Amino acid sequence: MSETQAFGIDFGGTGIKGAPVDLVEGDFAAERVRVRTPQPATPEAVAAVFAELLSQFPDSTGPIGVTVPGVVRHGVVGSAANIHDSWVGTDADTLFSKATGRTVHAVNDADAAGLAEVRYGAAKGRTGLVLVTTLGTGIGSALVLDGVLVPNSELGHLEIDGYDAETRASNRARESEELSMEKWAKRLTRYYRTLEKLFSPDLFVVGGGISKRHAEFLPLLDLDTEIVPATLRNKAGVVGAALYATT
Ligand code: BGC
């Protein structure tokens, strides 16, 4: 019998969020808990927070998924662009499983969001190549072909015009350089046009916190490909992590 419930944890730079997830509905099965991310956010400190967070859900059984904002291959973290360097080489699955006494599977944060948007959200029912991007501190990406994820695409780090793309087009770049939406939209157009050239996707989905303001910037983009806002918003990480844990 396939699982109908799993636990999802979304590990971000400022907060760690967790909730049991109803995998039929693609929604929280109980109220979400949010804890501040410990500083420094070393693997051990974060694992201890996961254990504490889970202890608040004594009835939760079943698999656990956790997002990590870096490359994750077979549970091992391979990059740490916006997190503590000590994550690189950490076997997150083993560390988290030991800390919580449960089976835990780690997944890249954008890949989790991508899985969730394709199964339950903006790309539900869509076939072909869906490219989900998250615009936040960095740029995360998920490539999903006919519902199957190609993990760790890391398209936020494409080099465009001599720059690591996320340093120009992420939401952090917009904020720190105080870019107008028009200026940011020009950079986003350059970014998504490059993705179009490389992948000819059928659909772009735009997630990350700023996606709730999609009406202010998506209409300004000049692209050939359909581009839509994510619909799971800040639930995508938790829901996607839980979904990943069961696949
Ligand atoms: C990381 C990705 C991550 C993205 C969003 C990038 O800097 O390299 O792994 O998905 O930020 O957090």
Closest Cα to atom 12 of ligand 1: 69
Which of ligand 1's atoms lies nearest the C-alpha of 138? 11
d(CA 3, CA 159): 40
Place of tokens 């780090």: 157
Domain identity same for 23 and 87: yes
Q: 84: CA distance to ligand 1 center in Å?
A: 13
> Can you give the residue range of the structural domain that contains 159?
124-231
Domain identity same for 222 and 129: yes
Are 238 and 120 in contact, with CB atoms under 8 Å apart? Answer: no
d(CA 244, CA 99): 20
Domain identity same for 29 and 93: yes
Query: What is residue 1's predicted lDDT score, i.e. its pLDDT?
Result: 42
Is ligand 1 within 6 A of the CB of residue 167?
A: no
For residue 117, being part of any structural domain is answered with no
For residue 119, being part of any structural domain is answered with no
Would you tell me how many other CB atoms lie within 10 Å of the CB of residue 89? Answer: 11
Ligand 1 pocket test: which of 37, 109, 135, 153 has the largest number of ligand atoms within 8 Å of its C-beta? 109
Domain identity same for 99 and 129: no
Query: What is residue 247's predicted lDDT score, i.e. its pLDDT?
Result: 87
CA nearest to 188, candidates 133, 137, 151: 133
Query: What is residue 81's predicted lDDT score, i.e. its pLDDT?
Result: 84
Give the domain CATH number at 9: 3.30.420.40
Domain identity same for 167 and 216: yes
Domain identity same for 24 and 69: yes
Whole-prediction pTM value?
0.97
Residues of the chain with pLDDT below 50 are 1
Domain identity same for 91 and 129: no
For residue 83, being part of any structural domain is answered with yes
Query: What is residue 149's predicted lDDT score, i.e. its pLDDT?
Result: 96
CA nearest to 33, candidates 45, 43, 47, 21: 21
- Total domains in the fold of the chain: 2
Domain identity same for 26 and 102: yes
Domain identity same for 65 and 145: no
Domain identity same for 192 and 226: yes
Domain identity same for 100 and 146: no
Domain identity same for 105 and 128: no
Query: What is residue 2's predicted lDDT score, i.e. its pLDDT?
Result: 62
Angle at 53 between CA 52 and CA 57, to 5 degrees: 110
